[in-house]
Amino acid sequence: MPPTGGALFALRAFALGLSALAGLGAFWLFVQFGSADGLDVLDVIRALLILISTLWLAWGAAQALIGLFSRPKAPPVDPSAPIRGRTVILMPVYNEDPRTSFSRLAAMHASLAATADPAQIHFAVLSDTRKDEIANEERLLFAKLVEETGGEGRFFYRRRAMNTGKKAGNIEDFITRSGAAYDYALILDADSLMEGETILQMIRRIEAEPRLGLLQTLPKVIRAQSRFGRAMQFSASFFSPVFARGLALMQGRTGPFWGHNAIVRVRAFAESCGLPVLRGAPPFGGHVMSHDYVEAALLARQGWVVRLDDDLEGSFEEGPENIVDHAKRDRRWCQGNLQHSRVIGAPGLKPWSRFVFAQGIMAYIAPLFWLAFLTASILAPLMAKPIDYFPEPYWPFPYFPPSEASKAIGLALGIFGLLFVPKILIALRAGVLGIARGFGGATLALASTVAELAFSSLTAPILLMFATRSVFQVLAGRDGGWPTNNRGDGRLTLAEGFAAAHWITSTGLIVLFASYFLAPNLIFWLLPVGLPMVFAPVVLWWSSQPARSPLMRVPSEIATPPVVALHDEILGRWSAAPSEQEHAHG
């Protein structure tokens, strides 16, 4: 159960205090370094940028520390208690491959059937598909789904004529039209997959606590094949549970909603979560894009508990296989989070909900502070005053100002420590507690952690550039829309990598040449940032190729989860038997 009262206040005070201490420490070290040759305006600006950036890094590290020193604990719920309410499992789809998504519903139905629990659970496919050929295939495969599962009367399909409000509008439309028939709704994405036993646990938990309005699980990424995908998959399975544990404890009863793999109380959702249409045109106006955070805040405003139960296993999703697909999805998230600047001042919100909105905004503008710091550091020598080595007249010996290089090194080590140390501690903890066995053993898990740190160091400058471009596009008033997610094989060619990242290469070359001519002392420090940018097309291509290394193994690869095995079997069978539409075109 999440902490309340004094315990919750103490956790939040610890995280905020640690972040402030780290930020002020970085500020002081930089001021000491900059004052060696006299402080100027640019030094003060850089110190403030370091303060803000370090605060943000330390906030993430504080979450990890809280998660490290606590263990997930299931709430007291009778696992044998009969389920009284009716539940509907909602799968919104938008131009997805229906064979892949509908077979996931078939697998979840089979997993539920294997429990032999008599709970009343229905399934609803909510289609916002705009392409008629995909919609026709949806209807054919839905009929196959109903026939194979014997689910007539328990499976439903509808396609909206207009996809007003995108996914949030799709769910709102169902709640408005059909929500009264159900007590609970389990919301999925098209790539979601959940064990039947996990679904039943979620229903029992929300039924046992009358004020629980939303219960979020922590989905694990599965089926990744590329180097980039496997790094994301390992991070989601190995590091994310600890960070999520810290997040769950700090958010208390005002927890997160990530839009999928979560169950809601239909009455609470219907009463609380009507989303406004914001004044003006996108990207800041129009329908709310990142609706999940807003819905969580609206539930909390009405007094409902929003909770992340990080002990729940058996919740899965799939992720992008390359950096380009990740950047496209992140572009939408960027627009949605920056749009929250229009929502953060809404009346009646809990203070922590406003803080969560501020965190989301900061997550996307933080790269701008680092970019501004690098730019100011390269330009700093232009404003530096020449050193007077003979400040005293008639004194025969030159005066050399004391070196503050140790301050700069200490600052760099501190910043890298905030990024690396939490992950190393997570690996050591996993070895001590036996968690590492699911990742190939303590040695392999530690080696995988080092490999992930190296990989993320290589890709971070490229991701930073994509994120920075997204922020500038939103601030310039460009609406990114809601592009369809790319599923399956995400391998890129070198030509595709160059087309997507040639501007990053150009930027990297400009940064390194400017540093060489204006601030040559910075070249060594900028190489870890500049070189990945220069070779961004190669990194995009290389990271999208299939992974061959035994590193970054995750539990779902060592022992296939039952519902994943069910889905593999069903999808394989459905793929081997062409649909009627394919016969018609043959």
Question: Does residue 58 sit within a domain?
Answer: no
Instruction: Domain count for the chain, please give it.
Output: 1
Q: What is the pLDDT of residues 113-124, one digit of tens each?
A: 999 999 999 999
For strand 193-194 and strand 212-216, is the pairing parallel, antiparallel, or unpaired?
unpaired
Per-residue confidence (pLDDT) for residue 151, from 0 to 100? 79
Measure the CA–CA gap between 105 and 114, rounded to whole angstroms: 14
Per-residue confidence band for 33, with pLDDT thresholds at 50, 70 and 90:
confident
Mean residue pLDDT across the chain: 90
What type of residue sits at position 437? R
User: Per residue in 70-81, is it b (16+ CB within 10 Å) or e — as a string?
Assistant: bebeebeeeeee
Per-residue confidence (pLDDT) for residue 404, from 0 to 100? 46
Per-residue confidence (pLDDT) for residue 222, from 0 to 100? 97
Q: What is the pLDDT of residues 477-516, one digit of tens each?
A: 999 877 766 666 789 999 999 999 999 999 999 999 999 9
Question: Does residue 306 sit within a domain?
Answer: yes
CA trace torsion 140, 141, 143, 146 (10° rounding): 180
Question: Does residue 112 sit within a domain?
Answer: yes
Q: In the predicted model, what is the mean pLDDT of residues 78-92?
A: 94
Question: Does residue 124 sit within a domain?
Answer: yes
Per-residue confidence (pLDDT) for residue 391, from 0 to 100? 55
Nearest in space to 501 (alpha carbons), one of 459, 564, 472, 450: 459
Per-residue confidence (pLDDT) for residue 113, from 0 to 100? 96
Are 352 and 15 in contact by the 8 Å Cβ rule? The answer is no
Whether 40 shows a pLDDT value over 80: the answer reads: no
Question: Does residue 387 sit within a domain?
Answer: no
Question: Does residue 181 sit within a domain?
Answer: yes
> Which is it for the CA torsion 308, 314, 318, 321, positive or negative?
positive
Are 312 and 202 in contact by the 8 Å Cβ rule? The answer is yes
Whether 157 shows a pLDDT value over 60: the answer reads: yes
End-to-end CA distance of the chain: 57
Helices (H), 239-350: 240-251, 266-272, 291-301, 323-339
Q: In the predicted model, what is the mean pLDDT of residues 23-38?
A: 80
Q: Which CATH number characterizes residue 198's domain?
A: 3.90.550.10
Q: In the predicted model, what is the mean pLDDT of residues 349-370?
A: 93
Per-residue confidence (pLDDT) for residue 400, from 0 to 100? 42
Measure the CA–CA gap between 405 and 412, rounded to whole angstroms: 11
> Which is it for the CA torsion 38, 40, 45, 48, positive or negative?
positive
Q: What is the pLDDT of residues 129-155, one digit of tens each?
A: 999 999 999 999 999 999 999 877 899
Are 346 and 293 in contact by the 8 Å Cβ rule? The answer is no
Q: What is the pLDDT of residues 388-421, one digit of tens each?
A: 444 556 555 444 444 445 555 666 777 888 889 9
Question: Does residue 579 sit within a domain?
Answer: no
Q: Domain range for residue 96?
A: 86-220+252-312
Per-residue confidence (pLDDT) for residue 394, from 0 to 100? 57
Lowest-confidence segment of 42-51, 97-106, 220-229, 275-284 by average pLDDT: 42-51
Residue whose tokens read 């040449």: 513
Which are the contacts of 450, defined by CB distance < 8 A and separation ≥ 6? none
Count of beta carbons in the 10 Å neighbourhood of residue 324: 20
Whether 525 shows a pLDDT value over 80: the answer reads: yes
Q: What is the pLDDT of residues 526-567, one digit of tens each?
A: 999 999 999 999 999 999 999 999 999 999 999 999 999 999
Q: In the predicted model, what is the mean pLDDT of residues 43-60?
A: 90
**Burial environment of residue 365 by CB neighbours within 10 A (0 to 12, 13 to 18, 19 or more):** middle
Question: Does residue 126 sit within a domain?
Answer: yes
